Amino acid sequence: MDKPLVWLHGEVKTPPFSVSTRVEAGVLLRRLQQGEKLSMPHSRPMPTIGKRCHELRIDDLDATWRIVY
């Protein structure tokens, strides 16, 4: 069973991901929803933000996107 996803602070707008990056982001978010623990290079802890906060890192053609969870 998937864990619930909760968006914080306003409307979430899709960044200008390439198609392959959009698919990778979806796959990684689904893995997180299913309870999998990700590590580098896809995820790293962000203790300066909060005890259980992590950063999901997704490389695109000319940028690295970050999703904080």
Does 11 map to a domain?
no
Domain count of the fold of the chain: 1
Does 5 map to a domain?
no
Residue ranges making up the domain that contains 35:
19-68
C-alpha closest to that of 68 among 58, 57, 55, 59: 55
Does 25 map to a domain?
yes
Does 46 map to a domain?
yes
* 32-49 pLDDT per residue, tens: 988 899 999 899 999 999
Provide the edge-to-edge strand list for the sheet that holds 54-59.
43-45, 54-59, 64-68
Does 8 map to a domain?
no
Mean pLDDT across the stretch 24-30?
Answer: 89
Mean pLDDT across the stretch 2-7?
Answer: 68
pTM over 0.95: no
Between these two residues, 10 and 30, which has the higher pLDDT value? 30
Q: Is the pLDDT of residue 10 over 80?
A: no
